[in-house]
Amino acid sequence: MLPNFRKAFVSGVQKHHSRFFSASQTSARKGLVLGVYEKDKEDNRNNGVFTEAAAAFDRSVSGKLSEILSVSGPPLKKGKSRMFYGLHQDFPSIAVVGLGKKGAGVCGKEYWDYSKENIRSAVAVGCRQFQDLEIPHVEVDPCGDSQSAAEGAVLGLFDYNEFKSKKSTQVTPQLHGSGDAKAWEKGVLYGEGQNLARRLMEAPANHVTPTIFADTIEQKLFPFSDRVTVHKRAKAWIESEQMGAFLSVAKGSDEPPVFLELHYSGSPDTNQAPLVLVGKGVTFDSGGISIKPASGMDAMRADMGGAATVCSAIVTAAALKLQVNIIGLAPLCENMPSGKANKPGDVVKAKNGKTIQVDNTDAEGRLILADALCYAHNFNPRAIVNAATLTGAMDVALGSAAAGVFTNSDWLWEQLHKASVVTGDRVWRMPLFQHYTRQIAESALADLNNIGKYSRSGGACTAAAFLQEFVTASHWAHLDIAGVMSNKDEVPYLRKGMSGRPTRTLVEFAAALASGS
C-alpha cells in the first residue's frame, strides 16, 4: 500500500504545481541545487537533514520538499541526486543532492577534507543534471562552504567539445541564498583556473603548438598587465642562454621552441624573493627516435600538463590578486622523430655545463626541465616548484590518487601537503635517496645518463634524482603528475578526460605563502 501512496502523492504534488512549471516556459528556465546530509542513527526523519538553504526553501513551500523527498525513495546517499518539478514558481526544477555526513571534516588517513570533497562532488552531480536538461541558469546551495560549492559547480560543468558540432549546454552557476559571496567567487576562480589547464591539455596538438600555448597564456594574462609581464623567448634567446639540453629535444620538430617566462608582481614588497614555478611543456611527445607505441599516443598531447597547470595557477593567482611574487617558466617544444632528432647515445650539454648521455629520447622531459631549473636560480627564489608529466613509473607507483612530490625541503613539503588537504587534490612524498643519484651518475660517455643504470627500476625516483643535479636552491620540489594527468571516474566532480591537476593545489600553496600562514 505504501508504494501506491508514494506514487499518488508524488504525482499529485507535481500536478498541483504544474502551473508553476508551465509559467516557467515563458521566462528564463532556472534550476536550483539543494543539499541534504545523511541522517544520524538516532534521527527518526526519513529524508535526512537539510542544509540551511534547503531548510529555508522547504519552509517557503510549506514543507512540501521534505514531504515529497520522504516518499520518493530511500534517503539520499553521498554523491547521489534526485530531481523534483513544479514546487516553486521561480525554480521549476530542483535537484536535491546527498552531502554525506554533516561535519565529516579532515580525515587523518585519507589526508583530505571529506566535507569539502562531498560538497564538490554533490554539487557537480546536481549541476550536470541541469546541463543534461539544457537548463542554462542554476543557483547553487552553498552547503556551508561557498568556495567548495563553486569549485564543484565550475569543475563539474566543464566539457571539452570545441571541435564537435553538438555542444553541451552552457550553464551559468550562481550562489543561492545568503552564502559567502567572496568565498563563492574565489571558488569560481579556482575552478576556472583548473579548467584552463584542462582545456590546454585536452586540445589537439595541432591546435596547441608551443607558439599557440604561449600566445594563449599571454592573452589570459592581458587583463592583469599592470601586475604581469610576459616574455616569449625565441630560439635565438634559448641558444644565447646555452640551453643545450632543451634545444636537443626541440630540434627534432619543425615547430619552433618557445621559452615562456611569466612575472607576476603581487607583493607590495618589490624586493620579496619570488616563488618560481617551472612546468614541462612538451606539447606533443612521440617519444622521438625511441618512439612510443601507437596505442594511446594521442594522449601525449597533454604532455605539457606541467606547463598548463603552472601557467594556469599564475593566471589564477593574478585574478585573485594574491600578495606574492611568482615567476613562471615553461620550456615549450615538441618531441618528434625527424632526421634532426636526438639519437640514443647522443651527448648534450646543459646550461650548467653538465653533459648528459641521452640513452632514451623518450626521457625528454627531464632534459628540457634541466635547463629551466638552472635558469630559475637567476631570480634568487624563495622556493622552486616544478611540475611535469614526467614518468609512467609515477602512474604505476601511485596511480591517480596523488601527485608524487620529491623535495629537499621539509618546510616545502609541509606547505604543499597542507594545501592539498584543503583542495582534495592530494600530493604524496617520495624519496630522493643517494641510491638513485648514483644510478644516473653512471654513464659511459658523459657526466649523467638520462635514464639511469636500471631503466625499469624506480623510474620516477631516478628521474627526480636527475633533476636534482640541476638544483642548488635549499627549497625545491618536483611534482611528477603523470599519474594524475587524466581522469576516468576517480574524481567524481571531473568528467572523463584530462584533469588539470594539481592546479588548485598550486594556487592554494601560493595563497598560503601570500597570507604568511
Peptide bond into 502 cis (omega under 30): yes
Nine-digit cell at 301? Answer: 598531447
Half-sphere exposure of 125 toward its Cβ, with a 13 Å CA cutoff?
24
Continuous segment of H or E residues that includes residue 175: strand 172-175
CA-wise closest residue to 85 among 121, 135, 141:
135
CA distance 330 to 484: 19
Residue 100 backbone class (left: φ over 0; alpha: ψ -120 to 50; beta: rest): left
CA distance 269 to 99: 42
CA distance 262 to 230: 5
Strand 30-37, strand 93-98: pairing: parallel
Close Cβ partners of 86 (under 8 Å, ≥ 6 residues apart): 13, 14, 16, 17, 18, 20, 21, 92
Close Cβ partners of 253 (under 8 Å, ≥ 6 residues apart): 333, 334, 335, 336, 338
Find out whether 219 and 211 touch, Cβ atoms under 8 Å: no
Residue owning grid cell 543557483: 139
CA-wise closest residue to 257 among 227, 294, 298, 213:
213
Residues with catalytic function: 292, 366
CA distance 192 to 155: 7
CA distance 44 to 62: 20
CA distance 482 to 485: 5
Nine-digit cell at 217? Answer: 597564456
Close Cβ partners of 259 (under 8 Å, ≥ 6 residues apart): 232, 233, 237, 238, 241, 243, 246, 329, 330, 331, 332, 372
CA distance 17 to 68: 13
3-state secondary structure 311-329: HHHHHHHHHHCCCCEEEEE
Tell me, what amino acid is at 343? K
CA distance 17 to 84: 11
